[in-house]
Amino acid sequence: MRKKIKCVVWDLDNTIWDGIIMEDQKVSLKANILSVIEKLDKRGILQSVSSKNYEDIAMLQLRRFGIDKYFIYPQINWGSKANAVENIAKKINIGLDTIMFIDDQEFERDEVNDTHREVMCIAPPEDIERILEMDELNPRFITVDSAIRRQLYQTDILRNESEKKYTHSKVSFLKSLGMKVSIKEAETEDLQRIEELTIRTHQMNSTGYTYSYEELKELIASDKYKVLIVQLDDRYGTYGKVGVILLRVHESYWNIFLLLMSCRVMSRGLGSVMLSYIANLAREKNVELYARFVETDRNRMMYMTYKFAGFSEINNSNGMIDFKANLSSERIISDYYKIDSDVWYRKK
């Protein structure tokens, strides 16, 4: 089965609008295209543009139509569309197998498909609204975070631009963000988002496992497991609910069965904060702390996250690694994070 589409990359001429902007005096939006773009946006599906045009002219036309806001990292130039699609995937930090490319020109679709066979390339159907019926474009749930996904990415773009202009150190910039990490025990209303995170997160997933809403509901009802959800905010706004910790709890030990975070926060060091926080709780509770890591073709960074956080390998069997944390001293969590938590055993 194909993965769900995370980003639709649109051509412009004779795809989003009727006509060729460099040849025609006036172009007009395709019938029902605005409705399709708006509905995809509300489903949490990102959108971008790959068009062979002059960028300033094409962007001006998008602004005139009032739809420029829907497209992140637009690639408008005279280069290869295969390169454009690859650039979009890299900037968003998603796999090419989660991109749909829509172009009226067969040779453009062939060029992208020949270079990136995992990209789903289609011609715009005569009735463009038909694409809304495609299973790949219909997520199981539309969560609070997914409904504002574009805005979250656009805020990330502002952060990144601000960081590039920042003249002091990386640490100084992180301090300036005023980051707040909220860690709480997941409730029923969080489970759709957690399922979505396990399905969408590949690089920053410690096991590669996914969990359904139904499985998660059983886990939060069990006294053997704790599911924690993590939200990150800063002075620019919220990143949303971006992290998950699944703990197997026992009176003498805890085991982290799943640690994941959105790729959007991978540069913020959130994984180390989450592990340090859990390690300090385990030390306070006087229990040993273990973690399970399952190697996939994409999650090497999570292995390094455990190693840098003071976890040592105690078993390695065909890519399934068991770690044990060193709890001899309290972990110091950087002062550029403010921790807001409501963990289960502190409630008692």
Asked if the structure places residue 1 within a domain, the reply is: no
- 210 lies in the same domain as 326: yes
* 2 — pLDDT class (breaks 50, 70, 90): low
Annotate 16-44 with b (16+ C-beta within 10 A) or e (fewer). Answer: bbeeebeeeeebeebeebbebbeebbebb
pLDDT of 252-290, one tens digit each? 999 999 999 998 898 888 999 999 999 999 999 999 999
Q: Is 163 left (phi over 0), alpha (psi -120 to 50) or beta?
A: alpha
Tell which residue, 136, 79, 76, 137, has the closest CA to residue 111. 79
SS3 218: helix
pLDDT over 60 at 235, yes or no: yes
Q: What number is the average pLDDT over the span 104-116?
A: 97
Q: Please say whether the beta carbons of 46 and 150 come within 8 A.
A: yes
- 132 lies in the same domain as 93: yes
Asked if the structure places residue 340 within a domain, the reply is: yes
Asked if the structure places residue 72 within a domain, the reply is: yes
Please return the burial class of 319, using the count of CB atoms within 10 Å of its CB with bins 0-12, 13-18 and 19+. exposed
Give the chain's mean pLDDT.
94
* 168 — pLDDT class (breaks 50, 70, 90): confident
Model pLDDT, residue 347: 45
Residue 36: phi and psi, rounded to 5, are -65, -45
* Domain of 118, in residue numbers: 7-137
> How many C-beta atoms surround the C-beta of residue 145 within 10 A?
20
Asked if the structure places residue 2 within a domain, the reply is: no
pLDDT of 169-178, one tens digit each? 888 998 999 9
CATH at 256:
3.40.630.30
- 116 lies in the same domain as 160: no
> How many C-beta atoms surround the C-beta of residue 117 within 10 A?
10
Model pLDDT, residue 312: 96
Number of domains in the chain: 2
Model pLDDT, residue 345: 59
Model pLDDT, residue 348: 40
Asked if the structure places residue 251 within a domain, the reply is: yes
Of 120, 137, 154, at which residue does a domain stop?
A: 137
Asked if the structure places residue 175 within a domain, the reply is: yes
- 196 lies in the same domain as 124: no
pLDDT of 37-73, one tens digit each? 999 999 999 999 999 999 999 999 999 999 999 999 9
Asked if the structure places residue 184 within a domain, the reply is: yes
- 101 lies in the same domain as 223: no
- 161 lies in the same domain as 98: no
